[in-house]
Amino acid sequence: MVYLVGAGPGDPGLITVKGREVLRKAQVVVYDQLASPELLKEAPADAEIIYVGKKAGAHALPQEGINQLLVDKARSGLTVVRLKGGDPFVFGRGGEEALALAAAGLPFEVVPGVTAAVAVPAYAGIPVTHRGLASLVTFITGHEDPTKETSAIPWDVLAQTQGTLVFLMGVKNLADNCRRLLAGGRPPTTPAAVIEKGTTTEQRTVTGVLENIAAVAQAAGIKPPAILVVGEAASLRESLKWWETRPLWGKTVVVTRTREQASALVALLAAAGARCLEVPTLEIGPPDDFTPLDQALSNLSRYQWIVFTSANGVAAFMQRLFGQGQDMRALGSAKLAAIGPATAQALQNWWLTADVVPAAFKAEVLLEALSPHIASGHRILLARAQVAREVLPQGLAQLGAQVDVAPVYQALPPGGIPPEAEAALQAGRVDILTFTSSATVHNFVRLLGPERFQALAKKAVVAAIGPITGATLQEYGPTPQIQPQDFTIPALAAAIIDHFKILT
């Protein structure tokens, strides 16, 4: 089966529910330049990923080659997702690919996508139709097939049309297209806009009128992919622009959490307009020795308390428990403690409610919250990272408890910096650095080197999730400008947003 899937115009959130569904079961993904790379994360880890993008003067594979590739992969009995920017059948050549599959007698499905012709103007604050301004909208290719002897576009008709004209993929021919409309009688004062990289965090919009929009776009250095909008509805942009007015718009943020944990912080900052670059400073792996954990899991009934210090710890604990053929009944009457709300939520995901969750995400505060509940002789299982501070085991032991420390995972340094992030770091295009633990600080400095890190931190706003992380940063020089009162991811994101709201 081949699925011709519209990926939407750039914002990965604009893919349809069905598009994401079929992407998650793909064995082969054939994707375009205009399909967001973020969507590739939805494909199975063992899926074959093939890039066939096209841009002016550079085609990874000609269209005939793409058609044959889809046929060959499908004939091999594989589930193929052809991921195309926008909608497959709106100037996407999806019809040609479907015809090739039909001619080969291969099954296919079309999963429509959000077309850039509507979404990109919307993200620029331009409704393509609007009562009293535009009751008609026309989509036009900005560059026709160069082998045509004459234009198939009725320029004289378009020039007289009172609705909105949306030209896709027309940067190269922008000036010529505007001249043709003017020659056909379209008023030179007709509002117009050009939108580059629409619906992404790099979106740029320039406005003018039909007689000068080409010059305005050229002066601004507008490059493909871009869309030209001509019509009275373009005049509404100043009142309706919203995507480019969010508090973190234009800011580039480095997120140093693990790949598994970065999504929550990235989602919050991206929603506020930031361009987020993930630089995972930790990889979560198994502990060097499972013996302490396995011994504890075989005797869980002897513990009065089981204490978790991270969501990673909860996940690793449960994986090992179920991997041994046990289930929740093995926990018996043990009470549960979580170091913070994220860890408590990780327990809740297993239908378990933490009996103690301190007000602040800190070992000292958790120890204080547990103290009234601990009696001499209580046996406590501490499920934590292989390397961690000794505040909890030492403090609980001083209360008379017998503490068994069971490493359930270890944090490992990553192999390197992702290429996109490395390019931004080298160019100095980083506005905010975020750190959510001391380990993220140590490993980020290790990745960059102390001197490079200090130079970067002098130019960027540095955000730490709490005082311990802040103190670790100070060991390397910088004092964090942002540090929330609550040591949680939502609080950190809110503090970053508030910081830039105040500046503006």
As annotated, the active-site residues are: 32, 54, 169
Question: What does the angle CA 85 – CA 88 – CA 89 come to, to the nearest 5 degrees?
Answer: 135
For tokens 């909105």, what's the residue?
Answer: 164
Give the DSSP H or E segment for 361: none
Determine the Cα–Cα distance for residues 468 and 466; give it in Å rounded to an integer. 6
Within 13 Å, how many C-alpha atoms sit on residue 335's CB side?
12
Question: What does the angle CA 422 – CA 425 – CA 427 come to, to the nearest 5 degrees?
Answer: 110
Please state whether 26 falls in left (phi above 0), alpha (psi between -120 and 50) or beta: beta
**Residue-wise DSSP of 127-189:** -S-BTTTBS-EEEEESS--TT-SS--S-HHHHHH--SEEEEES-STTHHHHHHHHHHTT--TT
CA distances to 1, 58, 85, 101, 300 from 94, rounded to whole Å, are 15, 19, 10, 11, 58
CB 230 within 8 Å of CB 186: yes
Q: What is the dihedral of CA 362, 367, 372, 374, to 10 degrees?
A: 140
All residues at 6 or more sequence positions from 159 whose CB lies less than 8 Å from its CB, including other chains? 180, 181, 182, 183, 184, 185, 186
CA distances to 74, 327, 332, 403 from 292, rounded to whole Å, are 49, 19, 19, 12
CA distances to 162, 291, 381 from 378, rounded to whole Å, are 80, 22, 10
Closest CA to 312 of 343, 290, 336, 337: 343
Determine the Cα–Cα distance for residues 85 and 113; give it in Å rounded to an integer. 8
Q: Which residues of 91-102 are buried (b: 16+ CB within 10 A; e: fewer)?
A: bbebeebbebbe
Determine the Cα–Cα distance for residues 278 and 275; give it in Å rounded to an integer. 10
Determine the Cα–Cα distance for residues 111 and 11; give it in Å rounded to an integer. 17
Determine the Cα–Cα distance for residues 43 and 26; give it in Å rounded to an integer. 6
Amino acid at 226: A
CB 305 within 8 Å of CB 331: no
**Radius of gyration of the CA atoms of the chain, in A:** 28
Determine the Cα–Cα distance for residues 496 and 432; give it in Å rounded to an integer. 9
Q: Is the dihedral of CA 225, 230, 231, 236 positive or negative?
A: positive
